[in-house]
Amino acid sequence: MALGSTDNELIAKIKDNISKVIIGKNESINLLVASMICGGHVLIQDVPGVGKTKLAKAFAQSVGLTFKRIQFTPDMLPSDITGVNIFDLGSNEFHFRSGPISAQLVLADEINRATPKTQAALLEAMEEHQVTVDGLSHSLPDPFLVIATLNPVEYEGTFPLPEAELDRFFMCISLGYPSFDDEVQIIEEQRVDDPLMEINSVINIQEFLRLQKRIRNIFVDKLVTQYIVSIVGATRQNENVVLGASPRASLSLSLASQAWALMDGREYVLPDDVKDTAVSVLAHRIIVSSSAKMSGLDSENIVNSIIGNVPIPGIR
């Protein structure tokens, strides 16, 4: 069955709407949208002031998701995120008062400013779509998505994210500084009004959920699956890597490739879809050795090198 134009139109509407707010960052927008329709959580790592928060808000408004922002600070407690049980004198019972985590899209702003204990409060929510308070579990909305922003670790007052938490982020992306012309356009467009205040939802939640289900029907040939596993496996055998990517990374890369194919209007995955998404899916999941860092290598360099060395299916 041929791919219906409706799916492409929905995705194009989301991307075009976000582009009204985030100027000149089409690749970052594409990666974010791909991750969101996969139901994955996104880590945006970049310096302050480049539009990380605006990107998250623009996506939430484009899809009509309930949105809450959590500003992480060193004195924040886990209960500030998950919620607490409040004793009601009238009914003589405890009632659960949900925290800001109870939204369809949660922006965890400057997540690495919180202590590891508070960061760990996100783990259950991100993986199980629920929070547990005083032994009782409380379900989170559907869909439930987290976009976390991360300041560079060199900045004072930050804590590195543990490997288990990093592995639960579907993708890690960055925006970077705008080009000269794009920055001029940003100033001119925001001199009077903030474009974020003018955009509305372009699709509804039911259409968004349909896109998320649609992803699973994109065909992945066994050779492409083997290509994915070969790339992920190579991160575990690389001499410059202390800890390679997990099987969860293989699943994420396969799903990201399906989303990339859908966004390109195809019902099947190509090796290029794997290559286009591999760095964003894998780089934040591996730990580079100290000697490699001293040589100037980082995780993105290593993943790109692996992609260049792993044979592409069908090419001898």
Q: What is the pLDDT of residues 117-176, one digit of tens each?
A: 888 778 888 888 888 877 778 888 889 999 999 877 556 667 778 788 888 999 999 998
> In this model, does residue 3 exceed pLDDT 50?
no
Say if residue 4's pLDDT is above 50.
no
Which backbone phi and psi does 116 adopt, to 5 degrees? -55, -35
Instruction: Tally helices (H) and strands (E) across the chain.
Output: 13, 11
When pLDDT is averaged across residues 86-99 and rounded to a whole number, the result is 78
* pLDDT average, residue stretch 33-58: 91
Q: What percent of the chain has pLDDT over 90?
A: 53
Average pLDDT over residues 244-264: 95
51-78 pLDDT per residue, tens = 899 999 999 999 999 999 999 888 888 8
In a 13 Å sphere around the CA of 267, the CA atoms on its Cβ side amount to 6
Cα distances (angstroms) measured from residue 89 to each of 92, 95, 135, 287, 313? 5, 11, 21, 51, 67
Q: Is the pLDDT of residue 311 over 80?
A: yes
CA-closest candidate to residue 248, choices 36, 40, 44: 40
Return d(Cα 190, Cα 52) in angstroms, integer.
Answer: 16
Q: Which of 207, 305, 221 is nearest to 258 (CA)?
A: 221
Residue 116 confidence (pLDDT):
82
pLDDT bin (cut points 50, 70, 90) of residue 223 is very high
Nearest to 107 by CA among 185, 25, 51: 51
216 Cβ contact list (under 8 Å, min separation 6): 258
Look at 33-42, 224-233, 286-295 and tell me which has the smallest mean pLDDT. Answer: 286-295
Confidence of residue 288 (pLDDT cuts 50, 70, 90): confident
Please provide the size of the chain in residues: 316
Q: What's the Rg (C-alpha) of the chain? A: 20
Top CATH class of 214-316 equals mainly alpha
Evaluate if residue 2 carries a pLDDT over 70: no
Tell me which fold the domain 1-177 belongs to: Rossmann fold (3.40.50)
Torsion angle defined by CA atoms of residues 230, 232, 238 and 242, in that order, rounded to the nearest 10 degrees: -160
Q: What is the pLDDT, as a whole number, of residue 5?
A: 47
Mean pLDDT of 289-312: 90
Please report the beta strands in 161-298, taking only residues with DSSP state E, as ranges in sequence order. 171-173, 241-243, 287-288
CA dihedral 127, 74, 99, 32 (to 10 degrees): -50
**Three-state secondary-structure class, residue 275:** helix
Calpha distance 214→258 (Å, rounded): 10
pTM of the full structure: 0.89
Q: Mean pLDDT throughout 284-289?
A: 90
- Report the C-alpha gap between 291 and 297 in whole angstroms: 9
From start to end of the chain, where are the E strands?
A: 42-45, 67-71, 83-88, 93-98, 105-109, 130-133, 136-139, 145-150, 171-173, 241-243, 287-288
Which two tokens mark 169?
């982020």
Work out the average pLDDT over 193-217. 89
pLDDT number for residue 157: 67
Write down the pLDDT at residue 153: 58
Q: pLDDT higher for 264 or 164?
A: 264
Structural domain boundaries in the chain: 1-177, 214-316
Antiparallel, parallel or unpaired: β 93-98 and 83-88? antiparallel
Question: 146: which residues sit within 8 A by CB, 6+ positions away?
Answer: 41, 42, 105, 106, 108, 122, 125, 126
Q: What are the CA-CA distances from residue 159 to residues 111, 117, 150 (Å)?
A: 9, 11, 10
Query: How high is the mean pLDDT of the chain?
Result: 88
More confident residue, 95 or 54: 54
Phi then psi dihedrals of residue 2, to 5 deg: -70, 150
Q: Bridge partners of 147?
A: 42, 107
